[in-house]
Structure 1
Amino acid sequence: MAAAVTSCGPRRPDAAPAAHPSAGAAGAPAAPASTPPGTAGPAADGHTGPTSERSRPGNADWEITDPGPDGAIEGFADRVSVLPGEPFGLHVSTPATAFTVSAYRMGWYDGARARLVWRREHVPGGKQAAPHVDPATRTVLTGWQRTLAVDTAGWPEGAYLLRLDAEDGSGRRYVPLTVRSASTAGRTVVMSAPATWQAYNEWGGYSLYNGPTGGLATRSLKVVFDRPYDYDHGAGLFLVYEAPLVALAERLGLPLAYTTGVDVAREPGLLTGASAVLSLGHDEYWSPEQRANVVAARDAGTNLAVLGANCCYRRIRFEPSDLGPDRTVVCYKDAWAQDPGHQAGAPATTDFRTGPGADPESSMLGVIYDGYPVDAPYVVTSPGHWAYEGTGVAAGASFPHLVGVEYDRVHTGFPTPRPIEVIAHSPVVCDGRRSHSDTAYYTVPSGAGVFATGTMRWVEALEARGPGGGRADHGIDSHAGDLVRQVTENVLRAFAAGPAGRTRPAQDNLDAVYGTA
């Protein structure tokens, strides 16, 4: 039986950016039948991948600086992801008589970070109905009508933010969307984590953490993608935990593919031949199918980089919503015995490491979630490791505030792949309990390498270039930012070249680090 690891404090929504629930709307506009024309198309050479995107000019005006009041405008897409050329619907609520929707592809673009791919102006506005709550599962349901049909013909693969602008100037909001890759062979896969964004989403007053009482007793047992996101102006967790990595990877010019955890769960062969899979800064909620498909890719030679902490912690199930398949995230957590799906034979939607059907995530990650909240320096212990090439760090080099707010460590009381190499071993104190956050690297017989940062702040720190740098800098300075950028570049380049373990096998050092095998 695996040794127990307890969290230093209760799991709270403020492990993510603060949420600002907004009120629902009343009334519903009619849905236009026609698909709007685009104002920008694919590259002239027909290529739509990030390599051709690097040479295109960006649009620095994509960012929302003044969102306006709650309820001024908000919306959601009826697809989490689409293939290039597939249509989707936008469901928008606004008291404004008209609004503009602009599709920005997020990337590097010489620092502009986004490019305008498509725009539709003068879309008729209207207030949609107020949401209601399913009494059995406390799920917030909008029932909003489709406002606009969008055709993605000519849209390159990538991560998108659709910006909604009320034409009376009253408000602006984002709607996230992935234009996913049909094939990932030979490419590094950016795997977005919308299930985790939705778990923390409190739009309408409920999330998988909180309800009206502010605690677990009234939380949702199921949440749906059929509602806006209530934080970061509608962008979910994308801007803090994913966009900085997208910008870096595209700046490097790597062959990239884009997908989501929902797609990886649904399509067993999606990762076939991929060079690497990237799990980004906050990727907590996984279905067993997603995990099995990532493990199968690893065992076939695909590298895995876990650029956060608390990854693959919650076991979920996808169910349909009124708008389509896989649009409901089910996670009963400690109330798993009440789940009708589990009663019918589905795996318990609780933590992967707990029963019934315990399957600790460490067997895939190498590390395992150890606690929350912490704020601690990141301490380098193996400066000669290839991941630190070009950083100039020495043993004991310390980078304040880089470890937090959740952290992982190697813990052999749980299934731990060997050989595994700890390259940063950072002391932490979590609610009075002493422990460590570990950055670790292990390799498997297929040749795949798995790299895990051990801190949730890794992707955020890619933005740290001085005081006030980044969207949520936590006091992380430019020295930490330089370290994280160089290590991430080293890992991405090595992983893009093929199975990293063939040329960079892990050198097991747990005896030296922890004093035990």
Structure 2
Amino acid sequence: MGEQQGSGTNRRRFLGLAVGTAAALSACGPGGGRPAGPAAAELGTQPSAVTPRPSPSATQAENERPGNADWGVSAAGPQQAVEGFADRVSVLPGEQFGLHVSTTAPGFTVSAYRMGWYGGARARLVWRSERVPGSRQPDATVDQRTRTVRTGWARTTTVDTKGWPEGSYLLRLDAEGGAGQRFVPITVRSRSTTGKTVIVNAVATWQAYNEWGGYNLYNGPTGGLATRSLEVTFDRPYKYDDGAGLFLVYEAPLIALAERLGIPLAYTTGVDLAREPELLHGAAAVVSLGHDEYWSPEQRQHVTAARDAGTNVAILGANCCYRRVRFEPSELGPDRTVVCYKGAYADDPGYRAGKPATTDFRAQPGADPESSLLGVIYDGYPVDAPYVVTNPGHWLFAGTGVKSGDSFPHLVGVEYDRVITSFPTPRPIEILAHSPVVCEGRHSFADSAYYTTPGGAGVFASGTMRWVEALDAHGPGGSKADHGMDARAGELTRKVTENLLRAFAAGPAAKAHPANDNLPANG
């Protein structure tokens, strides 16, 4: 997210885990002062046919199994009642990982839930431990140079994933005697992505906003930038009440929809994409979820190479690929520290040693605006505005019944992206929705956009961070949990996302759905 040095911004709960709080921000995003982009031209009103349903997959077979509706955290208890973390961000099926748990209870159990559809239950119990003896681990320490919180906790138990299907998992820790519950997220990543739609868990962003121990990449004890961490580690629990980081808000709704469709899926994390250059080789599509802000240059390079080879790219959020980070080891293993000095990059020993500056991708030194990959660029925070359809004939709107000018309250927020051609912008590109916003008094637009590449890939960007959240909007509106988004917003986003995922799963989307540029020639 955009920020100014010394602004005192508290960003821990900004993104509206229920409320979408907009803390003080003296400038509304990095797009301030730039000329307004063009309104989208209509391309007709009759949507073309969408891609037929792919054949049944292992994903569909998995989701035909019965789920467990009681998977959630129902009694969190005090913060220190039970909490923990895994010493691997992801594992391959059959690999082991360690759990580091601290609890005030004499014992606890671990239940591994694979997240999916499962007839609406959203999770399936894959494994449950025997009773594990519990103990209170030492208090965390803070590195004086980087203000990194370090637990130093001992491994409590080892978990073997033999027989676990690939997917996104939440491990629920249940303290003995009902003292409390917490989640620990882990990804059982796919061995192959060939022919599959790849779901990417945005673990670096989860960690950037994790204020466990009093520090994250935005705030320290003073609530502002001056005391923030310059590096954060995965070697600590997540502070949010349930321990799941940002997963349940920004990722789980999309996973449920994708698994319900039964398209072939693969799972990985941004850390794995950075480490493995060939990971996306042959993938049908790669999906960035609701909030995926922190990327390494390697991750961006590998996703861009996949796009150029014909892999479709879906950006179902906003503020994606905004911060440039570096992964370094921790005491527990490689790639477990997220380094992001932001405006203080000159103080980074890694930068002084010749590594890229860990600041915004669009910023100097080494400016490389994210729009060259996404088509859109981050323009501001905070906003709460209607989503306005301007290109109802686009194939992504097939089956929605939308008309030009149809409006969906609260669907644009709390951050937004737009097409700004003064930044690098792939062409041909189409704007599907061009939604007026007012951000800290500045008038602008949020854009949903779609472009295609010479290699055949289609790239879609929703332009709003609430897209994935809206997939779960079913009510009449006014719910704080959904930012007031109503059933109409839910129906729209679910249908558009279904059209998108089915088409992208079928292979290079430009073949069936070439983009028809609707920006002015001088846009």
Among 484, 487, 499, the residue aligned to 1:478: 487
The separation in 2 between residues aligned to 1:136 and 1:364, in whole angstroms, is 34
Aligned in 2, Cα 1:151/1:469: closer, same or farther, shift over 3 Å?
farther
Asked if 1:378 corresponds to 2:387, the answer is yes
Q: Give a deviation string over 1:268-316, Cα, whole Å, max 9, x none.
A: 0000000000000000000000000000000000000000000000000
Among 369, 373, 377, the residue aligned to 1:364: 373
1:494 is aligned to 503
Asked if 1:195 corresponds to 2:204, the answer is yes
2:464 is aligned to 455
For 1:160, give the aligned amino acid.
Y
Instruction: Tell me if the contact between 2:17 and 2:481 (Cα under 8 Å) persists in the aligned partners.
Output: no
Asked if 1:294 corresponds to 2:303, the answer is yes
For 1:475, give the aligned amino acid.
G
The separation in 1 between residues aligned to 2:479 and 2:267, in whole angstroms, is 23
Asked if 1:407 corresponds to 2:377, the answer is no
Question: 3-state DSSP class of the match of 2:213?
Answer: coil
Question: 3-state DSSP class of the match of 1:15?
Answer: coil
Instruction: Tell me if the contact between 1:91 and 1:144 (Cα under 8 Å) persists in the aligned partners.
Output: yes
Deviation at 1:6, TM superposition (A): 9.2
2:107 is aligned to 98
Question: 3-state DSSP class of the match of 1:13?
Answer: coil
1:41 is aligned to none
For 1:84, give the aligned amino acid.
P
The runs of at least 4 consecutive aligned structure 1 residues that moved more than 6 Å come to 468-471
Asked if 1:139 corresponds to 2:148, the answer is yes
Q: Give a deviation string over 1:87-130, Cα, whole Å, max 9, x none.
A: 00000000100101000000000000000000013100000000
For 1:418, give the aligned amino acid.
R
The separation in 2 between residues aligned to 1:54 and 1:162, in whole angstroms, is 19
Q: Which of structures 1 and 2 has the larger relative contact order (alpha carbons within 8 angstroms, sep 6+)?
A: 2
Q: Give a deviation string over 1:208-240, Cα, whole Å, max 9, x none.
A: 000000000000000000000001410000000
Asked if 1:163 corresponds to 2:172, the answer is yes
Question: 3-state DSSP class of the match of 1:325?
Answer: strand
Among 230, 242, 245, the residue aligned to 2:239: 230
The separation in 2 between residues aligned to 1:331 and 1:374, in whole angstroms, is 25
* Number of residue pairs the alignment of both structures matches: 482
For 1:428, give the aligned amino acid.
V
Instruction: Tell me if the contact between 1:198 and 1:225 (Cα under 8 Å) persists in the aligned partners.
Output: yes
Deviation at 1:171, TM superposition (A): 0.3
1:29 is aligned to none
Q: What runs of 5+ residues in structure 1 fail to find an aligned partner? A: 20-46
The separation in 2 between residues aligned to 1:284 and 1:370, in whole angstroms, is 13
1:120 is aligned to 129
Question: 3-state DSSP class of the match of 1:489?
Answer: helix
Aligned in 2, Cα 1:17/1:126: closer, same or farther, shift over 3 Å?
farther
1:173 is aligned to 182
2:12 is aligned to 13
Instruction: Tell me if the contact between 1:276 and 1:496 (Cα under 8 Å) persists in the aligned partners.
Output: yes
Asked if 1:50 corresponds to 2:59, the answer is yes
Asked if 1:394 corresponds to 2:403, the answer is yes
1:39 is aligned to none
Percentage of matched positions with identical amino acids: 73
2:26 is aligned to none
Instruction: Tell me if the contact between 2:479 and 2:485 (Cα under 8 Å) persists in the aligned partners.
Output: no
Deviation at 1:65, TM superposition (A): 2.3
The separation in 2 between residues aligned to 1:469 and 1:84, in whole angstroms, is 42
Asked if 1:306 corresponds to 2:315, the answer is yes
1:32 is aligned to none
Instruction: Tell me if the contact between 2:295 and 2:324 (Cα under 8 Å) persists in the aligned partners.
Output: yes
2:433 is aligned to 424
For 1:14, give the aligned amino acid.
R
Aligned in 2, Cα 1:384/1:11: closer, same or farther, shift over 3 Å?
farther
Question: 3-state DSSP class of the match of 2:481?
Answer: coil
Q: What runs of 5+ residues in structure 2 fail to find an aligned partner? A: 19-55
The separation in 2 between residues aligned to 1:481 and 1:496, in whole angstroms, is 22
1:86 is aligned to 95
Question: 3-state DSSP class of the match of 2:182?
Answer: strand
